[in-house]
Amino acid sequence: MTEWNGTINAEFRADNGRGGGPFAGANLGLSTTTGASSGAR
């Protein structure tokens, strides 16, 4: 699943926020989180 998510994120960023593949034509938003204790993304 992590590899699949990475591919979708890379496509999203490369296409200026437009989804491809199974998300073509859909409105998408990309969010990131930061760990409260570790500070890791």
What are the domain boundaries of the chain? Answer: 1-31
pLDDT on residue 17? 79
Confidence of residue 3 (pLDDT cuts 50, 70, 90): confident
- Distance from C-alpha of 30 to C-alpha of 23, rounded to nearest angstrom: 13
What is the chain written as a DSSP string? -HHHHHHHHHHHHHTTT---GGGTT----------TTT---
9 touches 18 (CB < 8 A): no
What's the whole-number mean pLDDT along residues 3-21? 81
Confidence of residue 1 (pLDDT cuts 50, 70, 90): low
pTM for this model (two decimals): 0.51
Tokens of 39: 């500070």
For the segment 14-38, what is each residue's pLDDT rounded down to a tens digit? 888 787 778 888 877 778 788 787 8
- Distance from C-alpha of 5 to C-alpha of 8, rounded to nearest angstrom: 5
